[in-house]
């Protein structure tokens, strides 16, 4: 019994990574904020928190796919801005939304082909892609503005059947991601490929007939499509196309993934871990707001707590 | 034919990191467009622009060779810059600031290394968190006293030349040469290779794995402190924010130079040329007056193409 | 619409901050007493980014200091969006949820805060907007230093100095940033009709090191330039340093109201102009919010379009005993100036 | 009888070096075909070509008379060719069941993986192999022998007609080999064609029907097993008769170099003592997984002992040893530690042979000192171990499995140590090389060194060692001179404790 709990806490005998500690940390932050401010658990704050965290949650979930195969996707931030720019071009939603996913899918495909078939390091491939997308976005929309389809705005700010739309977004995104990651062959194969990369048995999955390259490409496509979804959500929230709105999301997404216990060397991690990781980051930010901490000390405190969370996530092997 | 392919010279050529190719290409473009700019005096100044990044990369390549990463360089640079520009230490002179930068860098590097090697936490996150804390410290201090000017002598030293070569460039190349000797000649260099290739096997070969990782990080931190001094000398003002892109660019330059996590094919000069490529890329695009979006796109396309070329070549060679 | 009868009593711009004027046309006024509340207010401010640069740091100080000066303010909540549009929406929503008495908004971009501001207005909270225009008119009053005006003041200076012809370099700020685009539009406006040509146009990200790289490269590529239009912040100093470093004559170059720049200007004596964009707009926002809560009526639009500063005015403001990163004009007390910016 | 698979005139070279030169091989249903040859002869390469991993440079593959070609391993699998690769290739982060079904997972409703069926099938496959393991155990939690079994289960689970087993028993002990043999016979009786690669002569004669011998990438010949005996087989492989596999035992012994006293490696295990003298080779025998490895790895801090003390050359080793510096600590006392898993713990696969050998010498030096080349030492080690490579700068990954093992041993023999602790000295090594390695270890002992050996191969233990300690249930239960020990005697001692 003791061993059972020890295993869960240390993330051993499982490939889900060290997600329990950040969960405890998140709960501790919630408890602290509830006691200190009283606002924390109020529905309006919870919804606000969820809305604020949603783009990061979605992006980070996408990032999880590529991290699991031992890669990284630095182009997601630019892709978010790009998606908002496309949506704000003006036009019917039924054309714009599929267009966003199509273009994002194409970007993911290029990233994936560069990494899997052309042997380019993921950091280089996706960083180069980031530059390219930033440039294209600046052409499309040199400054924030444009008109976002009503449907998109309502799908973010409105309510349906008495529940705020954010809740539906959360449910849909999580269901899709869960199905892909934990409920299909594709997900299992991503773990297999990543496990091979992390342990140096790169050929193992290939040798038993897993379509390694194709799956890695799909992982990048998935990451790009989730980023596009995050872009759609953000466009609805800021009601415009904005060439800078996605700035920095790639780093936050990678941070969320890692805080959630997913190992950046590949093969170990989970969807719930990523969600927890993103929530920890969102709570840090929300907590500062609730406690009305001076902006001059916020960064230091956030960094400190982040370090605390990370310091507890001791793993068996060294690595990224 | 196959015999020729196997000859060590050809094998080596096949493995030339993309950074050299990009550099040569850009130099040729610049030479054909503005022949008057391709001389020691002018190039010296362009190269000086990236000296802080170039120095930072020397640390980055070291930690990447032991399969780690250091994203805290930006924070170190910001903090050192703040201390110099804010007058926190009244009456302090250059030697004090040098010592301060080195102490800050070394301590941060040691902490990173200790967390990565002993506590086995994620290197990306721990160094990122450290960077955030350092930036946070600057913001906290700046809330009470925003930074001001950097003492004039920093700029004066920065502008000196030895012959026709700017001192910062010489300093950078000197450090690169030192790092190269250090990695290729000393036992420590062997340890770095061993740990990067297979930490477990390194352990069973009697390599002090944790110590190697800690030492690599500590040296990287120290180098970041030195980079901070050079960066501060290159600007005459203090600031409260630092781009998150600095460490990422350092990582990219390192990889373009043929050094990846655990692999060191490009040695020290590959990544150094990676930085030089970035410098030339900027110059060429500015000289051609590309508009900003075009610049971004061109930059991305060039980097991607170079990397694809290299990737395809190495895939064939294996 | 015809002006209501109480329009005459509306607070004049100069009562809020020196250099402010109420916009002449199409400028409704708020109903007196509409937002009046007894003392003990809670005022919230959504700042676009406190730690973006030293100017934004000073805006935060100026705002806080103005709030501290007002006895009736029980609590001043400063929320920092940290240049994140999404966070700003949450920040404003959070202030609404806390039922603050007034909200001051510095928008990250012209559109990102619109929806949240609409929610604030719908909740009956007075909204004061400053240092950043928005697309919506869901706010109670705005104090806007026009970025176009800022750029045009500099552009006019260049046109005048060069006598209407010559080659200039344009140093822009952050690509995609509204402030950058609008200042640039002001320049384009000023150049209309002249035969001044833009020989080079580069982004220096309002940062010293990036601008220095740009200027060095431009200089080495082709040093023939008649004047430089710089979008402000630390870029001017960087460019001046480049010319000094090459021992070249410093061409006419536009600056900004920064103590460090003033020092350089006075010392080097090159031709320049400093358009005014004071961090004390932060204080003005607080004053406007206080006016509303006291029941005064305000115009919807206040403009902050002062003329540029010449060397004489710069000399008057320049403080050798303060550090480079204090921005003028300021409403900080002498004591606070010394505390924050005193050279040790 | 028609051949099921025919490999005809297969050639393959890597870079410039020829691994296979016009080799032909025919496989028949219902027969077990042994493939033998020295390390680096080309056995694995030939099988990888059949498994779709490599493409041949020349020659053709026929199945039932029709020519086939594989672009990748999946196509080979689809054509009914299932392989247990020599280098363990399980994914540590997947469960046993996931590894077994990887690439052909059963799907349940809505396209999700049918874990229930997968786990049930796995359970029965494991039970078949006599393994009591939960199917949802992560492979990273398994011992090396267990992994080998999972690998075997993976290879023979498939609904295939051809089975390739490339040294499946390298990490197995005699009892486990017997289980495997039962399965091979079952497959054979079901009409499958089986290729069996092994360096253990007894296994070949136990189970195989025909044998093909390769030498230096060329076919030496194919014979029915009834026409050969061990000596003639070795002669075919090595090109000469092997005199004695094992060298003579020690005649004298010196003072105690390694003394373990009242050691306890579990909370509730009986304390034990053992000693190794200069000039001696000592073996830790017993059933698989009874704590032999745990015992030696306590000395380097991977496990923490619960009591007792250790003296090395008369000096006390302070216990417990910190895991991060255990190997270094022993090394500083003159002890070399050769780990079992050459791929994970032993070698730097992407680095040259020279680097792999010299690193141990470098590790003794101060970090800041200049690294020496050690050219002669390396050349000497390569010569002594007869490592088949184009030179010292060859990347270890390109060596055959057995040659890799020799590089690993070379590293520790080149180092100047007095005591060697060796786990599995001859894993995957051919007979010729085995006898070389035995000689080298004996030489080492004769020069005053002491050797402590762990091996799953009991015959090897009896032949090589001077004295044996029988380990059972995490303690030493018996001590016996190797000269008079028998497999039966060891088993008896272990089980009657
Ligand atoms: N060991 C090898 N040596 C040479 N080429 C190989 C090797 N392994 C794979 N390839 C080539 O690379 C291609 C892709 O390999 P892999 O099967 O891993 O990817 P995949 O995702 O399955 O590809 P696809 O989507 O085309 O099925 C193979 O079709 C084969 O042509
Ligand atoms: N990927 C590769 N690159 C270069 N050379 C290789 C490669 N794989 C095998 N070789 C070479 O081909 C030859 C045959 O190797 P192979 O692995 O087939 O030997 P083997 O008979 O299986 O030996 P062992 O009994 O040691 O496993 C060896 O000389 C080896 O060095
Ligand atoms: Mg395939
Ligand atoms: Mg083999």
**Tens digit of each residue's pLDDT (9 = 90 or more) over D275-320:** 999 999 999 988 777 888 888 898 888 888 888 889 999 888 887 8
Inter-chain touch B194–D359, beta carbons under 8 Å: yes
Residue of B255, B294, B298 with shortest CB distance to A124 = B255
Above 80 in pLDDT, residue B148? yes
Q: Atom 7 in ligand 2: which residue has the minimum CA distance?
A: D398
pLDDT reading at B111 higher than 50: yes
Domain membership of residue B126 (yes or no) is yes
| Mean of all residue pLDDT scores within chain C | 91
Flag whether pLDDT at D243 surpasses 80.
no
pLDDT for residue C323 is more than 70? yes
Whether D327 sits inside 8 A of B210 (CB atoms) is: no
Nearest partner of D291 among D321, D276, D271, judged by Cα: D271
Interface test with A, best of C85, C177, C183 (most A CBs within 10 A): C85
Structural domain contains residue A249: yes
Is A251 close to B244, i.e. CB distance below 8 A?
A: yes
Q: Return the pLDDT at B316.
A: 62
Region C216-221: mean pLDDT is 92
Please report the pLDDT score of residue C33 as a whole number.
Answer: 86
Minimal C-alpha gap between A235 and chain B (Å) = 21
What is the reported pLDDT for C1?
A: 46
Distance from CA of D321 to the nearest CA of B (A): 14
Which chains does A contact via 3+ CB–CB distances below 8 A? Answer: B, C, D
For residue B8, being part of any structural domain is answered with no
Substitution target in B46, B146, B231, B290 with the highest count of C β-carbons within 10 Å is B146
pTM of the model as a whole: 0.91
Please report whether residue A301 resides in a domain: no
Which residues, by Cβ under 5 Å, contact ligand 3, an ion? A 211
Mean pLDDT confidence for D471-496? 87
Q: What's the gap in Å between the CA of A51 and the closest CA on chain C?
A: 8
In 3-state terms, what secondary structure has residue A131? Answer: helix
- D252 confidence band (pLDDT: 50, 70, 90): confident
Q: Per the domain annotation, does B6 fall within a domain?
A: no
pLDDT value, residue D1: 47
CB contact under 8 A, D102 and A205: yes
- pLDDT of B1 strictly over 50: no
Residue B10's pLDDT is: 64
**What was the pLDDT predicted at B2?**
45
**Arithmetic mean of pLDDT, C220-233:** 91
CA of D54 relative to ligand 4 center, distance in Å: 14
Chains B and A are touching, with contact defined as 3 or more CB–CB pairs separated by less than 8 Å = yes
C58 lies within 8 A of chain A by CB: no
The pLDDT of residue A11 is: 66
| DSSP-derived pairing of the beta strands D81-84 and D162-166 | parallel
CA A256 – ligand 2 centroid, Å: 44
The tokens 């031992």 sit on which residue?
A70
Residue B10 domain-assigned (yes or no): no
Among residues C157, A208, A99, which one has the least CA distance to residue D73? A208
- The residues in A 164-203 lying below 8 A from C, measured between CB atoms, are none
Task: Specify if A31 maps to a domain.
Answer: no
DSSP states of A2-28 as a string? Answer: HHHHHHHHHTTTSSS-S-HHHHHHHHH
- Ligand 1 atom nearest to A213, measured from its CA: 21
Residue D323 in contact with partner chain A when CB distance is under 8 A:
no
Residue B11 falls within a domain, yes or no?
no
Expressed as residue numbers, the domain containing B229 is: 17-317
Backbone angles phi, psi at D95, to 5 degrees: -75, 170
Residue D8 clears pLDDT 50, i.e. is over it:
yes
Query: Which residue's entry shows tokens 């700003």?
Result: C88
Q: Which of D72, D75, D87, D398 to probe ligand 1 with, by most ligand atoms within 8 A of CB? A: D72
Pairing of strands D31-37, D58-63: unpaired
- Ligand 4 centroid distance, CA of D122 (Å): 28
CA atoms within 13 A on the CB side of D80: 14
Residues of C in contact with B241 (CB under 8 A): 51-53
In a domain, A135, yes or no: yes
Of residues A212 and D242, more confidence is placed in A212
> Higher pLDDT residue, A197 or C12?
A197
Kindly report, residue by residue over D202-231, the tens digit of the pLDDT: 889 989 999 999 988 899 999 999 999 888
**pLDDT for residue B14:** 67
Q: How far is CA B107 from the centre of its chain?
A: 19
Q: Does C38 touch chain A (CB under 8 A)?
A: no
Instruction: Please name which ligand lies nearest the alpha carbon of D18.
Output: 2
Q: In Å, how far is D160's CA from the nearest CA of chain B? A: 31
Q: How big is the A-C interface in CB pairs under 8 Å? A: 110
Q: Are C92 and C46 in contact (CB under 8 A)?
A: yes
Q: What is the CATH number of the domain that holds B225?
A: 1.10.3470
Atom 20 of ligand 1: nearest residue by CA position: A211
The number of domains in chain B is 1
The chains in contact with chain B, meaning 3 or more Cβ pairs closer than 8 Å, are: A, C, D
Instruction: Judge if the upstream peptide bond of residue D320 is cis by omega within 30 degrees of 0.
Output: yes
D3, D60, D162, D267 from D26: Cα distances, Å: 6, 12, 12, 55
- Closest approach of A309 to chain B, Cα-based (Å): 10
CB of A206 closer than 6 A to ligand 1? yes
Nearest CA to ligand 1 atom 12: D72
For the residues C13-18, what does the mean pLDDT come to?
A: 82
Check whether C171 has a pLDDT greater than 90: yes
| pLDDT value, residue C139 | 94
pLDDT in tens, D253-280: 889 999 999 988 878 888 889 999 999 9
Q: Which chains border C (3 or more CB–CB pairs < 8 Å)?
A: A, B
The percent of residues in chain B predicted with pLDDT above 70, rounded, is: 93
Residues with CB under 5 A from ligand 4 (ion): D 44, 86, 401
- Any atom of ligand 1 within 6 Å of the Cβ of D53: yes
pLDDT band at C4 (very low <50, low <70, confident <90, very high): low
> Is B124's CB within 8 Å of A320's CB?
yes
- Residues of the domain holding A246: 53-253
Distance from CA of B44 to the nearest CA of A (A): 27
D72 lines ligand 1 (CB under 6 A): yes
| Contact (CB<8Å) A209/D94 | no
Which helix or strand (DSSP H or E) is residue C129 part of?
strand C127-130
Per-residue pLDDT tens digits for D32-45: 999 998 888 899 99
CB pairs under 8 A between B and C: 103
The mean pLDDT value of chain B amounts to: 89
3-state secondary structure chain B: CHHHHHCHHHHHHHCCCHHHHHHHHHHHHHHHHCHHHCCHHHHHHHHHHCHHHHHHHHHHHHHHHCCCCCCCHHHHHHHHHHHHHHCCCCCCCHHHHHHHHHHHHHHHHHHHHHHHHCCCCCHHHHHHHHHHHHHHHHHHHHHHCCCCECCHHHHHHHCCEECCEEHHHHHHHHHHHHHHHHHHHEHHHHHHHHHHHCHHHHHHCCCCHHHHHHHHHHHHHHHHHHHHHHHHHHCCECCCCCCCHHHHHHHHHHHHCCEECCEECCCCHHHHHHHHHHHHHHHHHHHCCCCHHHHHHHHHHHHHHHHHHHHHHHHHHC
Tell me how many domains chain A contains.
1
The pLDDT tens digits along chain A (320 residues) read: 566 676 776 666 778 888 888 899 899 999 999 998 888 888 888 888 999 999 999 999 999 999 999 999 999 999 999 999 999 998 899 999 999 999 999 999 999 999 999 999 999 999 999 999 999 999 999 988 888 999 998 888 888 888 888 889 999 999 999 999 988 999 999 999 999 988 877 888 888 888 999 999 999 999 999 999 999 999 999 889 999 999 989 999 999 999 998 988 899 999 999 999 999 999 998 888 888 889 899 989 999 998 988 888 887 788 78
């Amino acid at each position: 019994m003791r061993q059972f709990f020890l295993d869960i806490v240390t993330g051993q005998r499982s490939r889900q990574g060290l997600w329990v500690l950040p969960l405890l940390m998140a709960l501790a932050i919630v408890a602290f904020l509830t006691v200190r401010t009283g606002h924390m658990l109020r529905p309006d704050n919870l919804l606000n928190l969820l809305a604020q965290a949603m783009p990061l949650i979605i992006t980070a979930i996408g990032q999880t796919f590529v991290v699991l195969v031992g890669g990284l996707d630095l182009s997601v931030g630019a892709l978010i801005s790009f998606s908002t720019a496309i949506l704000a071009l003006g036009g019917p939603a039924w054309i714009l939304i599929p267009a966003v996913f199509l273009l994002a899918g194409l970007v993911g495909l290029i990233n994936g082909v560069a990494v899997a078939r052309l042997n380019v390091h993921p950091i280089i491939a996706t960083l180069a892609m980031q530059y390219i997308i930033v440039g294209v976005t600046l052409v499309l929309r040199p400054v924030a503005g444009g008109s976002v389809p009503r449907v998109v705005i309502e799908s973010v700010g409105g309510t349906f059947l008495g529940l705020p739309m954010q809740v539906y977004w959360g449910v849909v995104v999580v269901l899709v991601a869960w199905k892909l990651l934990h409920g299909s062959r594709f997900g299992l194969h991503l773990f297999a490929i990543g496990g091979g990369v992390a342990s140096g048995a790169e050929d193992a999955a290939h040798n038993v007939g897993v379509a390694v390259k194709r799956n890695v490409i799909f992982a990048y496509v998935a990451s790009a499509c989730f980023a596009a979804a995050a872009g759609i959500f953000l466009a609805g929230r800021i009601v415009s196309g904005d060439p800078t709105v996605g700035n920095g999301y790639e780093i936050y997404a990678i941070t969320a993934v890692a805080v959630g216990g997913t190992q950046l060397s590949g093969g170990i991690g989970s969807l719930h871990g990523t969600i927890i990781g993103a929530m920890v980051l969102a709570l840090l930010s929300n907590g500062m707001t609730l406690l009305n901490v001076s902006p001059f000390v916020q960064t230091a405190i956030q960094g400190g707590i982040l370090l605390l969370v990370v310091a507890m996530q001791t793993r068996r092997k060294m690595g990224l | 034919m196959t015999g020729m392919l196997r000859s060590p010279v050809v094998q080596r050529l096949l493995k030339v990191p993309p950074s050299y190719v990009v550099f040569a290409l850009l130099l040729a473009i610049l030479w054909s467009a503005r022949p008057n700019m391709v001389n020691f005096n002018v190039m010296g100044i362009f190269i000086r622009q990236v000296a802080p990044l170039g120095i930072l990369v020397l640390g980055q390549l070291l930690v990447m060779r032991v399969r780690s990463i250091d994203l805290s360089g930006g924070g170190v640079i910001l903090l050192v810059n703040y201390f110099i520009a804010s007058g926190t230490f009244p009456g302090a002179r250059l030697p004090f600031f040098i010592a301060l930068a080195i102490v800050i860098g070394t301590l941060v590097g040691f902490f990173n290394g200790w967390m990565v090697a002993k506590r086995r936490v994620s290197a990306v996150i721990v160094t990122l968190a450290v960077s955030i804390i350092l930036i946070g410290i600057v913001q906290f201090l700046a809330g009470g006293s925003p930074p001001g000017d950097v003492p004039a002598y920093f700029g004066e030293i920065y502008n000196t030349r030895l012959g026709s070569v700017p001192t910062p460039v010489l300093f950078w190349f000197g450090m690169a040469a030192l790092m190269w000797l250090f990695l290729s000649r000393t036992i420590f260099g062997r340890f770095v290779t061993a740990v990067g290739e297979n930490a477990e096997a390194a352990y069973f070969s009697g390599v002090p794995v944790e110590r190697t990782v800690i030492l690599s990080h500590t040296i990287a931190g120290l180098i970041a402190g030195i980079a901070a001094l050079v960066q501060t000398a290159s600007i005459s003002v203090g600031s409260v924010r630092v781009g998150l892109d600095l460490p990422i660019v350092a990582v990219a330059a390192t990889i373009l130079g043929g050094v990846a996590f655990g692999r060191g094919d490009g040695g020290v000069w590959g990544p150094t040329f990676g930085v030089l490529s970035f410098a030339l890329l900027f110059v060429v695009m500015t000289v051609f007056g590309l508009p900003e979006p075009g610049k971004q796109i061109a930059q991305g396309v060039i980097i991607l193409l170079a990397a694809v070329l290299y990737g395809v070549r190495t895939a064939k060679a294996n | 619409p015809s002006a209501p009868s109480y329009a005459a009593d509306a607070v004049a711009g100069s009562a809020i901050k020196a250099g402010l004027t109420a916009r002449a046309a199409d400028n409704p006024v708020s109903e007196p007493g509409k937002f009046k509340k007894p003392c003990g207010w809670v005022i919230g401010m959504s700042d676009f980014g406190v730690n973006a640069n030293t100017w934004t740091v000073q805006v935060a100080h100026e705002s806080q200091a103005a709030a501290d000066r007002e006895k009736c303010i029980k609590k001043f909540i400063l929320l920092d969006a940290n240049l994140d549009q999404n966070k700003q929406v949450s920040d404003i929503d959070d202030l609404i949820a806390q039922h603050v008495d007034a909200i001051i908004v510095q928008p990250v971009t012209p559109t990102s805060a619109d929806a949240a501001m609409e929610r604030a207005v719908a909740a009956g909270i007075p909204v004061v907007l400053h240092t950043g225009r928005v697309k919506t008119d869901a706010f109670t009053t705005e104090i806007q230093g026009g970025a176009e005006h800022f750029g045009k003041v500099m552009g006019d200076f260049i046109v005048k100095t060069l006598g209407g012809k010559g080659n200039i370099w344009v140093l822009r700020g952050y690509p995609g940033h509204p402030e950058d685009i609008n200042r640039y539009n002001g320049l384009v406006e000023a150049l209309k009709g002249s035969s001044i040509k833009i020989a080079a146009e580069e982004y220096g990200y309002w940062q010293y090191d990036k601008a220095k790289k740009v200027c060095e490269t431009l200089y080495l590529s082709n040093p023939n330039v008649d004047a430089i239009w710089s979008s402000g912040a630390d870029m001017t100093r960087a460019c001046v340093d480049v010319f000094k470093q090459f021992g070249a004559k410093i061409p006419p170059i536009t600056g900004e109201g920064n103590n460090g720049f003033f020092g350089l200007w006075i010392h080097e004596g090159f031709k320049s102009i400093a358009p005014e964009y004071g961090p004390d707009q932060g204080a003005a926002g607080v004053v406007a919010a206080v006016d509303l809560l006291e029941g005064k009526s305000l115009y919807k639009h206040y403009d902050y379009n002062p003329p540029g500063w010449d060397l004489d005015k710069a000399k008057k403001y320049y403080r050798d005993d303060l550090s480079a990163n204090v921005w003028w004009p300021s409403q900080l007390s002498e004591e606070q100036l010394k505390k924050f910016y005193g050279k040790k | 009888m028609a051949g099921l698979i025919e490999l005809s005139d297969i050639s393959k070279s890597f870079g410039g070096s020829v691994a296979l030169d016009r080799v032909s091989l025919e496989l028949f249903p219902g027969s077990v075909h042994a493939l033998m040859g020295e390390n680096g002869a080309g056995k694995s390469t030939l099988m990888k070509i059949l498994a779709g991993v490599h493409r041949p440079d020349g020659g053709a593959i026929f199945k039932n008379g029709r020519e086939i070609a594989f672009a990748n391993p999946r196509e080979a699998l689809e054509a009914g060719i299932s392989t247990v690769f020599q280098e363990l290739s399980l994914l540590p982060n997947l469960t046993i069941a996931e590894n077994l079904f990887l690439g052909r997972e059963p799907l349940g409703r809505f396209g999700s993986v049918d874990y229930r069926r997968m786990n049930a099938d796995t359970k029965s496959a494991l039970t078949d192999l006599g393994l009591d393991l939960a199917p949802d155990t992560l492979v990273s939690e398994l011992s090396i022998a267990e992994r080998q079994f999972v690998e075997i289960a993976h290879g023979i689970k498939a609904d295939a007609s051809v089975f390739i087993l490339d040294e499946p028993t390298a990490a197995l002990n005699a009892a486990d080999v017997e289980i495997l043999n039962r399965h091979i016979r079952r497959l054979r009786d079901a009409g499958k064609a089986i290729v069996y690669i092994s360096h253990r002569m007894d296994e070949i004669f136990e189970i195989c029907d025909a044998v093909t011998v390769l030498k230096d990438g060329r076919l030496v010949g194919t014979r029915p097993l009834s026409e050969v005996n061990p000596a003639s087989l070795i002669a075919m492989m090595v090109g000469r008769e092997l005199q004695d596999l094992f060298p003579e035992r020690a005649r004298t012994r010196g003072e105690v170099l390694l003394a373990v006293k009242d050691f306890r490696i579990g909370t509730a295990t009986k304390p034990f003592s053992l000693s190794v003298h200069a000039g001696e080779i000592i073996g830790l025998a017993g059933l698989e997984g009874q704590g032999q490895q745990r015992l030696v790895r306590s000395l380097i801090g991977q496990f923490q002992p619960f009591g007792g003390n250790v003296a090395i050359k008369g000096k006390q080793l302070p216990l417990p040893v910190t895991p991060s510096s255990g190997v270094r600590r022993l090394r500083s006392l003159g002890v070399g530690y050769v780990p079992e898993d050459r791929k994970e713990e032993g070698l730097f696969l992407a680095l040259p042979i020279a680097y792999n050998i010299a690193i141990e010498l470098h590790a003794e030096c101060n970090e800041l000192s200049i690294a020496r080349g050690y050219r002669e030492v390396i050349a000497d080690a390569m010569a002594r171990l007869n490592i088949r490579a184009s030179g010292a700068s060859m990347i270890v990954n390109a060596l055959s499995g057995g040659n890799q093992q020799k590089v690993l041993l070379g590293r520790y023999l080149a180092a100047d140590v007095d005591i060697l602790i060796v786990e599995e000295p001859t894993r995957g090594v051919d007979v010729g090389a085995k006898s070389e390695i035995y000689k080298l270890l004996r030489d080492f002992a004769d020069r005053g060194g002491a050797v402590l050996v762990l091996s799953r191969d009991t015959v090897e233990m009896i032949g090589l060692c001077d004295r044996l300690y029988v380990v059972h249930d995490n303690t030493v239960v018996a001590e016996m001179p190797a000269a008079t020990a028998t497999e039966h005697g060891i088993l008896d001692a272990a089980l009657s404790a």
